[in-house]
Amino acid sequence: MRKTYWIAPLVALLIFAVVYGQFRREQRTREQARTAQVQAERKAQADAEIEARRLAVVEAVRVQSQRQKERADREADARLQQQERQRALAACAQALHEQQTLTHQLAVLKKELTAEQAALAQLAATRRSALAEQVFLRQFLVQAEANVRALAAVIAKLPPPADSARLPNATPTPATKKP
């Protein structure tokens, strides 16, 4: 019986060792499978994370370039608006300068116009007086010629003076002329 005390626990130990070995192998395979699955999941997660980062970087670069384009467009628009404002201000200043120049020229021309109108009025007055004098002289000439004829007729009616031979400047009258 002494052998049974040794053999039965040894057999039980061997059976236990075999069962434990199988269980341990199965446990290791399950653990390896679970580890492989976890590693695969981690790798897939890391790959997905890397892909997400790559896509995020690509998207960030795209957004950054779009923002740069938008900023450049805004700056170009601002420059154009500033140039338009400067052109408008320059045009306004030029229009104001032209207005001042034209106002000054208008004032000078008004002064010249008043001076010319005064000179024109003076010339018109001089012309009217010259026309009046011309009319007067024509009438006077007609009257003087009429007086000369009347006096010549009166002289012709007068008897010739006896001293007519003695007068050096005596002009013979038509009545005293000898044929």
List the domain boundaries for the chain.
Answer: 2-111
Give the residue ranges of the chain where pLDDT is below 70: 1, 163-179
- What's the rounded Cα separation, in Å, for the pair 138 and 127? 16
Query: Which amino acid does the sequence have at 165?
Result: A
- What's the rounded Cα separation, in Å, for the pair 158 and 152? 10
Q: What is the pLDDT of residue 6?
A: 82
Q: What is the pLDDT of residue 143?
A: 94
Q: What is the pLDDT of residue 170?
A: 54
- What's the rounded Cα separation, in Å, for the pair 161 and 155? 11
Q: What are phi and psi of 71, to 5 degrees?
A: -65, -45
For 57-75, write each residue's pLDDT tens digit: 999 999 999 999 999 999 9
Cβ-based neighbours of 161, under 8 Å, separated by 6 or more: 167
Q: Which residue has the tokens 């007729």?
A: 153
Query: Own/partner pairs for 165-170, CB < 8 Å, 24+ apart?
Result: none
pTM of the model: 0.40
